[in-house]
Each structure stands twice: as structure tokens, then as C-alpha cells.
Amino acid sequence: MISKKLKLLFLLSIPLFITHGLEEYFTGFFNIDPIFKFVFQYFENMTVFQATFLLFQIMLWLFLITFFFLILGGKWPLRLMVILGVVLIFELHHIIRAIVEWGYYPGVLTALLFPILAFFFWKELINNFKELETQKLE
């Protein structure tokens, strides 16, 4: 079972990710980030319609897989929360790049909030796993 606090932290991450994505878009993150270029290089030689269609299909597949795990219940909802926790930590790369380049790196302003959210998120996620194990032993 996912605690109310973990649900709240998840809910708080949504506007942060939206704001962060907008900052990345408006500051040209996609033009300079090597990780982004590596992940999406396959889309480069496609038409806009082909890329949009394929991206939509991939998002649908990921949604269906995620939904399947959610309806299984048990530990799966918590395990899926681990993915979000990893993404929260991964967003540190904006801060690291800004330090290395000693200047603004697209996405760094909103990325400053991710380590704070990640700390509380992981703390609560670990507590949720411990609580689930305690219930299992009873």
C-alpha cells in the first residue's frame, strides 16, 4: 500500500516535471544534450508524422505495461515508484553539467528542486517498503 505522504510527493512531482520540461523546451535542451541526442537519434531521419506516430505507440505500450503492473497489486505499485525515484536522481545531471560548464545549462533552474524532492521521496518510499515487509510478517 502506498502511503498518503508518498502519494503527495508523487503529486508534487507532476507540476515540477511539467515546469522542468517547459524550461528544457524553451531553453533548447534538445539541441545540446548528448543524452537526449543519443536516446532520440533514431527519430532524426524520420518525417514529423512518422516520429510522432512512433513516439505515440511507444508511450501507449509503456502505459499498458505500467497499467498491467498496477492491476497486479502487491508490491508492484511501490516497485513502479522506484522508477520515478531513479528519474528524480537522474535529473541531477543538469546541475552537474551546469557546474562543469560553469554556467547555465538548460533545465538547471527547475532541476535544483529535484534533489530535495528525491530525498523526501526516497525516504518515504523506503518507509513504505519497510511497512509492507512488517505487514507481511504479521
- pLDDT reported for residue 29: 85
pLDDT, one tens digit per residue, over 70-120 is 888 777 888 889 999 999 999 999 999 999 999 999 989 999 999 999 999
Q: What is the pTM of this model?
A: 0.83
Residue 118's φ and ψ, nearest 5 degrees, are -60, -40
At residue 138, the pLDDT reads: 62
Domains of the chain: which residue ranges? 4-32+74-137
pLDDT of residue 4: 92
Buried b (16+ CB within 10 A) or exposed e, 69-94: eeeeeeeebbeebeebbeebeebeeb
Q: 1 pLDDT band (50/70/90 cuts)?
A: confident
How crowded is residue 118: how many other Cβ atoms within 10 Å of its Cβ? 22
> Which tens digits make up the pLDDT trace of 17-33?
999 999 999 998 888 88
Q: Which letter, b or e, does each residue of 95-117 get, where b requires 16 or more Cβ atoms within 10 Å of its Cβ?
A: bebbeeeeeebbbbebbebbeeb
Percent of the residues in the chain that have a pLDDT greater than 70, as a whole number: 99
Question: Which three cell numbers, joined as nine digits, stand for 119?
Answer: 530525498
